[in-house]
């Protein structure tokens, strides 16, 4: 395997334009003769499906849920960044680029990130034209807020439902193409394998989740937009159906997996309440604009928060990071919360929480302003915890939220398998070792609306695409493999539920491959994951059969893949002997506990190649060069 | 932690073609902090441990935004809490010893798939008949080129908040989809971008709604009462006006 990132030459700000000018075009009359499979209908998949159909391609669109509109993107709350500089506060494409590179701790490609910043501007135009009701000022122009520590106001939002509104916009464009006959929807389908013919991605195998039927679908190219793998930790802010299966099966077919250990732990989530806990709920980061984070100075202080006097509180973010205070980036805020809890100063029933306090903000701005800004978030908090955050500080704790790692792609968003393109959270492309708030929505839509329509055309125009049908041997082989796995899973008839295996895997991942890692713990995790995987294949119990809706069976396949991916994440974390972004290795820190990056040895993308079950994956390195931004120590002090 | 005992009566149905029935279960280890769906997870773990088939129910985000969860709880779509989707309902709203009846969203255009899971793809087909603004990627003007008064944008957002869950249909004695359809028609009719296709949109979406077999609206307002996003029936009135105007010219 050779990694060729295909980065265009020329000055940074001209790269994308020059590249577009060099890309081959498909004759408009021929486009409808080409079928493109798009797996996933989140922001990335829906925008890609709609746009490719607008260009005239014949698109088949797949998703797990009963409707494309329910993809996990719908849950994004806070907002979407764009370098519009409508606020005249010094924002620019350069600044968004710079913030993203720095925020990612210098582990992403300059060219990709610059393109993302350039395209951000068009995304807002597109969304508004679709009827996305972004927040507005009284003068009728779009409102912005500052988000997640950005020092400019560049975040566009639609109340606390930005992801929903952007997704409904993309979904409506997708449905328009359904109406026009250029997109066919395949809902309640799960992709279980990629079909590769003559070295090119030519189709997929899916299971119809209602009838259990295994279907073959053929195409000229496959676009994967299946989201992130945060659910490998069992408890995360991701939707229950979010999973890594499609990406993982592509990895096993030859697509390199990049930086799997780069996961983002979001600092402001509602803490776990009990063993039955099924997921964690994010409280939008925007809360940190007005809320102050603190814990008691004394260990094990069990007093009611409102009874703890001011001078016995430790506003530890303000203390440690005077310049950014409560607005430090996510990874920094999460680690700091863990540190005070590890010291025994955590609050709540399990001592695994810190306070996020609005008392000062309410005094300063009045309760109405706070209600106007965060009302729905406060309601959500109260609904879940039964506590009123207007009166009692919120309790929050970090939770797994996003995965920066993903399938490796070149500048064209093509994986190491020709014809397999990967978009959105499923790829690794733009966020380096840490993603900035409000940047995932931007990336998903940039990929789908504005990158893939150009680059896929170049691939189709420049590639010899043999005529293939679903009768090809490769389809049969892939389908047989899928069926065998399903039969095997059902035949084990062991004693332990899929859920229990998933929970156990999650605990290993959270304890050893979570917020902070060390070599010993990672080695232990690898051993434990292997043991658990072995037990899974001998002792899992799946009720029912494969001939109708069977969620346990669906989840079993996903957990089986998580049990392999988890190991790769630990291997990657173990090999990366540095701390950067979301990857914090305890051995590599400064005396005052800040991350210690090693640019000399680790300024590269780690792309792992599958070598067969039970074999060590092979590491390929894509060096990262910084021509425009000089890597410095990220300091938020 | 306090434990509650609950008596559950749950609709079990193998598939669309097999008749279903209510089956009783008792759960002893429910805590008030659990969400309703976590309570069902616990039930399912017990069932699986006994080698029985778990109860299938749709869910995904568990945050009240994806619209995937459904369930009619004690006769009310999404249960007793106002403006709350099933996945956001917590067990602290129930009492030790309660009997809870759980059924699927029922409506002819929402056939049961299995147990509590129904097929709501009719909603996709209605939206595909016009619930969009025709704009290709790349052709949009600058986002601030059309100012929209804040009140109008806010009202459009109120309508756009619909999560497409279908509770309105399940609550309606006529199985009308008017609240859902009107929310989209209203959102786009309010915005300047939605004007060019306004008439065509109203006509086509309403025709598709009829074709899918949803009933007529006769102002029961049950839909508004159960809607987890508090979509107002004022949108239905606007939809009627839109339809009349579109028919007249
Ligand atoms: C609670 C929460 C809040 C967030 N808030 C923000 C925010 O404010 N701003 C921001 O920028 N980002 C935010 N994010 C991150 C952002 O929402 C996601 O990164 C982004 O939406 C991912 O989009 P996507 O299109 O890549 O994938 P997804 O939206 O996850 O979509 C995945 C799609 O793939 C399909 N799929 C998956 N596997 C298969 C398979 N095997 N076969 C068939 N189909 C499959 C699914 O059905 C789905 O349609 C948030 C994330 C969370 C969890
Ligand atoms: S109008 Fe309300 S009840 Fe009906 S689908 Fe939308 S959110 Fe659900
Ligand atoms: S599960 Fe998403 S709205 Fe209830």
| Residues A488 and A611 reside in one and the same domain | yes
Instruction: Enumerate the β-bridge partners of residue B101.
Output: B9
Q: Which of A28, A279, A388, A497 to probe by mutation at the B interface, max B CB count within 10 Å?
A: A279
Q: Which ligand is nearest to the CA of A37?
A: 1
Rg from Cα positions in chain A: 24
| Res B198 pLDDT > 90 | yes
Instruction: Enumerate the β-bridge partners of residue A201.
Output: A196
User: Under DSSP, is residue A44 helix (H, G, I), strand (E, B) or coil?
Assistant: helix
Question: Which DSSP string corresponds to B43-110?
Answer: HHHHHHHTTPPPPP---S-SSS-S-----EETTEET-SSTT--GGG-BGGGS-TT-EEEEE----TTS
Q: At what angle do helices A551-575 and A473-492 cross, to 10 degrees?
A: 100
Domain-located, residue A202: no
Instruction: Spell out the CATH class of B4-103.
Output: alpha beta
| Res B211 pLDDT > 80 | yes
Contacts with A, B 159-218, CB within 8 Å: 160-161, 163-164, 187-188, 191, 193-194
Spatial separation of the C-alpha atoms in residues A150 and B82, rounded to whole Å? 37
- Write down which residue in A400, A430, A464 finishes a domain: A400
Q: In ligand 3, which atom is closest to the CA atom of B87? A: 4
Q: What is the mean pLDDT of residues B16-32?
A: 96
Q: What is the mean pLDDT of residues B139-162?
A: 97
Q: Ligand 2, residues B123, B164, B186, B209: which to mutate, most atoms within 8 A of Cβ?
A: B164
- Write down which residue in A356, A381, A400 finishes a domain: A400
Cα A418 to ligand 1 centroid, rounded to whole Å: 24
Do B87 and B35 touch, CB atoms closer than 8 A? yes
Residue A127 token pair = 């969304």
Q: From the candidates A320, A330, A395, A597, which is the catalytic residue? A: A330
Spatial separation of the C-alpha atoms in residues A122 and B191, rounded to whole Å? 20
- Write down which residue in A400, A430, A465 finishes a domain: A400
A137 to chain B, any CB pair closer than 8 A? The answer is yes
Spatial separation of the C-alpha atoms in residues A584 and A596, rounded to whole Å? 9
Do A474 and A196 touch, CB atoms closer than 8 A? yes
Query: Hey, whose CA ends up nearest to atom 20 of ligand 1?
Result: A73
User: Under DSSP, is residue A346 helix (H, G, I), strand (E, B) or coil?
Assistant: coil
Q: Do B157 and A273 touch (CB under 8 A)?
A: no
- Predicted confidence band of residue B59 (pLDDT cuts 50, 70, 90): very high
Domain-located, residue A275: yes
Show Cβ contacts of residue A140 under 8 Å, excluding neighbours closer than 6 positions.
B147, B148, B149, B150, B153
CA quadruple A306, A310, A311, A314: dihedral, nearest 10? 80
What ipTM is given for this predicted complex? 0.98
Computed over every residue of chain A, the mean pLDDT equals: 96
Q: Where are the alpha helices (DSSP H) in A104-149?
A: 110-130
| Res A592 pLDDT > 90 | no
Spatial separation of the C-alpha atoms in residues A105 and A428, rounded to whole Å? 14
**Fold agreement (B4-103, B120-133+147-248):** no
Do A206 and A215 touch, CB atoms closer than 8 A? yes
Q: Is the dihedral of CA A379, A382, A387, A393 positive or negative?
A: negative
Spatial separation of the C-alpha atoms in residues B66 and A65, rounded to whole Å? 10
CA A422 to each of CA A240, A249, A610, A637, B111: distance values in angstroms, whole numbers, following the listed order? 22, 13, 17, 37, 35
Q: Which residues of B touch A502 (CB under 8 A)?
A: none
- Predicted confidence band of residue A15 (pLDDT cuts 50, 70, 90): very high
In what helix (H) or strand (E) does residue B113 lie, and over which residues does it extend?
A: strand B112-114
User: Under DSSP, is residue A303 helix (H, G, I), strand (E, B) or coil?
Assistant: coil
Q: Look at strands A540-541 and A496-497 and give their pairing.
A: parallel
Q: What is the mean pLDDT of residues A65-94?
A: 97
Do B177 and B211 touch, CB atoms closer than 8 A? no
Segment A483-521, tens digit of pLDDT: 999 999 999 999 999 999 999 999 999 999 999 999 999
Q: Which residues of A touch B140 (CB under 8 A)?
A: 122, 125-126, 128-129
Segment A379-424, tens digit of pLDDT: 989 999 999 999 999 999 999 999 999 999 999 999 999 999 999 9
Show Cβ contacts of residue A375 under 8 Å, excluding neighbours closer than 6 positions.
none
Q: Do B141 and A129 touch (CB under 8 A)?
A: yes
**3-state class percentages of chain A: helix first, strand second, coil last, to nearest 5:** 40, 15, 40
| Residues A587 and A489 reside in one and the same domain | yes
B60 to chain A, any CB pair closer than 8 A? The answer is yes
Domain-located, residue A616: yes
B114 to chain A, any CB pair closer than 8 A? The answer is yes
Do B39 and B28 touch, CB atoms closer than 8 A? no
| Residues A490 and A354 reside in one and the same domain | no
Q: Look at strands A420-422 and A221-224 and give their pairing.
A: parallel
- B79 in contact with ligand 3, CB cutoff 6 A: no
A84 to chain B, any CB pair closer than 8 A? The answer is yes
Comparing alpha-carbon positions, the chain A residue that sits nearest to B149 is A140
State residue A514's pLDDT score. 97
Domain-located, residue A41: no
- B227 in contact with ligand 2, CB cutoff 6 A: yes
Q: Look at strands A313-314 and A292-296 and give their pairing.
A: antiparallel
Residue A315 maps to which CATH number? 3.90.700.10
Number of domains in chain A: 2
Residue A46 token pair = 């829906």
- B229 in contact with ligand 2, CB cutoff 6 A: yes
Spatial separation of the C-alpha atoms in residues A57 and A30, rounded to whole Å? 8
Counting residues of chain B whose pLDDT is more than 90, the rounded percentage is 98
Q: Look at strands A35-39 and A221-224 and give their pairing.
A: parallel
Least confident of A73-77, A286-290, A465-469: A286-290
3-state secondary structure A564-629: HHHHHHHHHHHHCCCCECCECECCCECCCCCECCCHHHHCEEEEEECCCCCCCCEEEEEECCCCCC
Closest CA to B70 of B115, B126, B7: B115
In residues, how long is chain A? Answer: 637
A384 burial via Cβ count (<10 Å: 0-12, 13-18, 19+): middle
What is the arrangement of strands in the sheet containing A406-407, beginning at the earlier edge strand? A406-407, A257-258, A604-609, A618-623
A316 burial via Cβ count (<10 Å: 0-12, 13-18, 19+): buried
Segment A556-586, tens digit of pLDDT: 999 999 999 999 999 999 999 999 999 999 9
Q: Do A67 and B187 touch (CB under 8 A)?
A: no
Comparing alpha-carbon positions, the chain B residue that sits nearest to A166 is B160
* Backbone φ and ψ of A285, nearest 5°: -60, -25
CA A132 to each of CA A126, A163, A164, A190: distance values in angstroms, whole numbers, following the listed order? 9, 10, 10, 29
Domain-located, residue A84: no
Show Cβ contacts of residue A162 under 8 Å, excluding neighbours closer than 6 positions.
A76, A77, A78, A79, A80, A156, A438, A441
| Residues A478 and A611 reside in one and the same domain | yes
Do A419 and A219 touch, CB atoms closer than 8 A? no
3-state secondary structure A445-460: HHHHHHHHHHHHHHHH
Segment A332-347, tens digit of pLDDT: 899 999 999 999 999 9
- Predicted confidence band of residue A376 (pLDDT cuts 50, 70, 90): confident
Q: Diameter of chain B by CA atoms?
A: 65
Spatial separation of the C-alpha atoms in residues A208 and A224, rounded to whole Å? 18
Residue B239 token pair = 């939809």
Residue A541 token pair = 């119990």
- Predicted confidence band of residue A150 (pLDDT cuts 50, 70, 90): confident
- B131 in contact with ligand 2, CB cutoff 6 A: no
Residue A260 token pair = 């799997």
Give the DSSP letter of residue A343: T
> A517 an active-site residue?
no
- A63 in contact with ligand 1, CB cutoff 6 A: yes
State residue A285's pLDDT score. 83
- A235 in contact with ligand 1, CB cutoff 6 A: no
Rg from Cα positions in chain B: 20
Cα B164 to ligand 2 centroid, rounded to whole Å: 5
Residue A537 maps to which CATH number? 1.20.58.100
Q: What is the mean pLDDT of residues A45-72?
A: 98
| Residue range(s) defining the domain that contains residue A520 | 473-623
CA B140 to each of CA A243, B28, B91: distance values in angstroms, whole numbers, following the listed order? 34, 57, 47
Q: Per CATH, is B120-133+147-248 categorized as 3.90.220.20?
A: no
Contacts with A, B 70-89, CB within 8 Å: 84, 88
Domain extent listing, chain B: 4-103, 120-133+147-248
Angle at A185 between CA A181 and CA A188, to 5 degrees: 165
Counting residues of chain A whose pLDDT is more than 90, the rounded percentage is 93
Spatial separation of the C-alpha atoms in residues A397 and A383, rounded to whole Å? 17
Do B229 and B83 touch, CB atoms closer than 8 A? yes
| Residues A491 and A584 reside in one and the same domain | yes
State residue A301's pLDDT score. 94
Contacts with A, B 213-242, CB within 8 Å: none
* Backbone φ and ψ of B196, nearest 5°: -55, -35
State residue B1's pLDDT score. 65
State residue B91's pLDDT score. 97
Domain-located, residue A170: no
Q: What is the mean pLDDT of residues A225-252?
A: 98
Q: Diameter of chain A by CA atoms?
A: 75
- B112 in contact with ligand 2, CB cutoff 6 A: no
């Amino acid at each position: 395997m050779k990694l060729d990132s295909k980065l265009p030459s020329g000055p940074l700000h001209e790269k994308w334009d020059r590249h577009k000018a060099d890309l081959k075009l498909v004759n408009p009359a021929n486009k409808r003769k080409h079928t493109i499979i798009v797996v996933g209908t989140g922001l990335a998949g829906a925008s890609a499906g709609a746009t490719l159909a607008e260009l005239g391609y014949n698109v088949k669109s797949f998703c797990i849920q009963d409707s494309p509109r329910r993809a996990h993107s719908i849950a994004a709350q806070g907002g979407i960044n764009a370098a519009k500089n409508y606020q005249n506060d010094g924002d620019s494409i350069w600044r968004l680029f710079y913030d993203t590179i720095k925020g990612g701790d210098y582990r992403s490609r300059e060219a990709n990130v610059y393109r993302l910043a350039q395209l951000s501007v068009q995304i807002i135009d597109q969304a508004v034209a679709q009827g996305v009701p972004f927040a507005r000022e009284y003068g009728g122009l779009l409102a912005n807020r500052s988000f997640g520590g950005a020092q400019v106001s560049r975040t566009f939002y639609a109340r606390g439902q930005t992801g929903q509104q952007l997704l409904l916009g993309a979904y409506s464009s997708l449905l328009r193409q359904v109406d026009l006959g250029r997109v066919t929807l395949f809902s309640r389908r799960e992709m279980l394998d990629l079909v590769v013919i003559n070295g090119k991605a030519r189709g997929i195998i899916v299971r119809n989740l209602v009838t259990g039927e295994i279907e073959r679908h053929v195409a000229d190219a496959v676009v994967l937009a299946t989201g992130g793998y945060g659910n490998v930790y069992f408890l995360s802010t991701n939707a229950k159906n979010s999973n890594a299966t499609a990406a993982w099966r592509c990895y096993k077919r030859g697509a390199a997996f990049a930086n799997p250990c780069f996961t983002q732990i979001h600092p402001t989530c509602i803490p776990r309440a009990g063993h039955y806990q099924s997921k964690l709920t994010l409280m939008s980061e925007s809360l940190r604009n007005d809320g102050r984070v603190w814990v008691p100075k004394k260990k094990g202080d069990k007093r009611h928060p409102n009874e703890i006097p001011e001078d016995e509180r430790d506003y530890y973010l303000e203390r440690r990071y005077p310049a950014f205070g409560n607005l430090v980036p996510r990874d920094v805020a999460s680690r700091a919360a863990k540190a005070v809890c590890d010291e025994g100063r955590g609050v709540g029933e399990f001592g695994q929480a810190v306070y996020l306090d609005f008392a000062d903000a309410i005094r300063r701005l009045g309760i109405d302003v706070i209600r106007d800004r965060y009302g729905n978030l406060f309601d959500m908090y109260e609904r879940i915890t039964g506590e009123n955050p207007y009166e009692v500080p919120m309790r929050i704790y970090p939770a797994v939220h996003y995965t920066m790692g993903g399938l490796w792609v070149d500048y064209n968003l093509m994986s190491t398998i020709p014809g397999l393109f990967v978009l959105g959270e499923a790829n690794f492309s733009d966020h380096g070792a840490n993603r900035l708030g409000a940047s995932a929505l931007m990336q998903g839509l940039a990929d789908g609306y504005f990158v893939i329509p150009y680059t896929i055309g170049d691939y189709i125009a420049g590639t010899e695409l043999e005529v293939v049908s679903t009768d090809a041997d490769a389809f049969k082989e892939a389908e047989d493999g899928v069926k065998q796995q399903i039969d095997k899973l059902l035949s084990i008839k062991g004693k332990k539920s899929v859920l229990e295996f998933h929970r156990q895997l999650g605990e290993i991942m959270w304890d050893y491959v979570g917020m902070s890692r060390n070599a010993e713990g990672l080695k232990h995790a690898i051993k434990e994951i292997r043991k658990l995987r072995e037990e899974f294949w001998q002792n899992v119990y799946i009720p029912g059969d494969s001939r109708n809706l069977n969620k346990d069976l669906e989840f079993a396949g996903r957990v089986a893949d998580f049990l392999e991916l988890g190991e790769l994440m630990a291997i990657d974390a173990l090999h990366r002997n540095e701390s950067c972004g979301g990857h914090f290795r305890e051995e590599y820190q400064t005396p005052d506990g800040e991350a210690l990056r090693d640019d000399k040895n680790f300024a590269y993308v780690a792309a792992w190649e599958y070598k067969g079950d039970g074999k060590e994956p092979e590491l390929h390195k894509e060096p990262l060069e910084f021509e425009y931004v000089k890597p410095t120590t990220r300091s938020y002090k | 932690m306090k434990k509650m005992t609950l008596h559950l009566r749950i609709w079990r149905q193998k598939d669309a073609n097999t008749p279903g029935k209510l089956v009783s279960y008792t759960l002893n280890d429910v805590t008030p902090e659990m969400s309703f769906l976590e309570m069902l997870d616990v039930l399912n773990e017990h069932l699986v441990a006994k080698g029985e088939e778990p109860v299938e129910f749709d869910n995904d985000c568990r945050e009240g935004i994806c619209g995937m969860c459904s369930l009619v709880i004690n006769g009310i779509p999404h249960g007793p809490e106002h403006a709350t989707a099933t996945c956001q309902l917590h067990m602290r709203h129930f009492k030790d010893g309660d009997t809870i009846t759980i059924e699927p969203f029922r409506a002819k255009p929402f056939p049961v798939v299995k147990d509590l899971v129904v097929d709501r793809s009719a909603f996709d087909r209605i939206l595909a008949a016009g619930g969009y603004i025709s704009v290709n990627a790349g052709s949009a003007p600058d986002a601030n080129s059309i100012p929209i008064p804040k009140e109008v944008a806010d009202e459009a957002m109120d309508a756009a908040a619909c999560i497409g869950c279908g509770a309105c249909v399940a609550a309606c004695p006529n199985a009308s989809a008017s609240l859902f359809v009107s929310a989209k028609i209203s959102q786009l009719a309010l915005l300047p971008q939605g004007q060019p296709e306004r008439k065509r949109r109203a006509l086509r979406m309403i025709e598709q709604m009829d074709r899918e077999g949803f009933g007529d609206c006769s102002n029961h307002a049950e839909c508004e009462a159960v809607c987890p996003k508090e979509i107002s029936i004022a949108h239905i009135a606007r939809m009627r006006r839109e339809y009349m105007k579109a028919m007249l010219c």
